[in-house]
Amino acid sequence: MHPNLTVVDHPLIQHKLTLMRRKETSTAQFRALLAEIALLLGYEAMRDLKLTEETIETPLMPMKAHKLEGKKLVLITIMRAGQGLVDGMLQLVPSARVGHVGLYRDPKTLQAVEYYYKVPQQLEDRDVIVCDPMLATGNSAIAALDRLKRSNPGSLRLVCLLACPEGIANLASAHPDVPIITAAVDEKLNDHGYILPGLGDAGDRLFGTK
């Protein structure tokens, strides 16, 4: 497996993920659960962000206190389901900047095709967290990371909800330097590029489009 893979197997996350997987879970519940899990995954994904010190005054005395180093963090949503993860993470870092990468999967080749790209300036000074709920073939995440690396970001991480061995292997060979944070690694990919047992189409379930 990927040496940089972190599976966040906290009981709260696993419980919420089971609720999300159930086919009878409503769109409203799915959306709320994804935001809750995103917050918890984000907490783990941001564990090694660098800190700096500043002198502040408490009501009692001055002290040197920690704060996050550098420019504002960037959250990248891989449209469209990535939005669900970004919404949850924004509760943790409300001042984060948000970038959008639009990619669709060609249904025949399963390759990622870019149709939109708008990200914050000065990525070279920023930590960047790419949000893509389903690491299936890995093609979308790889394409997004390829594109982002052209701007030389300060650091890059990928947060997903579910991964599978095929997606992890593809990502590991294309971007061995990028840590992956996920809630679970499922069994395998089917012939249509869906994760099994998975949770179905994350975008459709999040937006109620099916």
As measured in angstroms, the least distance from the Cβ of 104 to ligand URA is 11
Q: Pick the closer one to ligand URA by CB: 93 or 110.
A: 110
Joined tokens for residue 132: 């893509």
As measured in angstroms, the least distance from the Cβ of 159 to ligand URA is 15
Q: How far is CA 190 from CA 86, 168, 200, in A?
A: 27, 15, 11
Give CA angle at 140 (181, 198), nearest 5°. 60
Q: Pick the closer one to ligand URA by CB: 103 or 123.
A: 103
As measured in angstroms, the least distance from the Cβ of 83 to ligand URA is 13
Q: Pick the closer one to ligand URA by CB: 167 or 179.
A: 167
Q: Pick the closer one to ligand URA by CB: 20 or 123.
A: 20
Binding site for ligand URA (CB under 6 A): 81, 134, 136, 193-195, 198, 201-203
As measured in angstroms, the least distance from the Cβ of 177 to ligand URA is 24
Contact in structure between 35 and 88 (CB atoms under 8 Å): yes
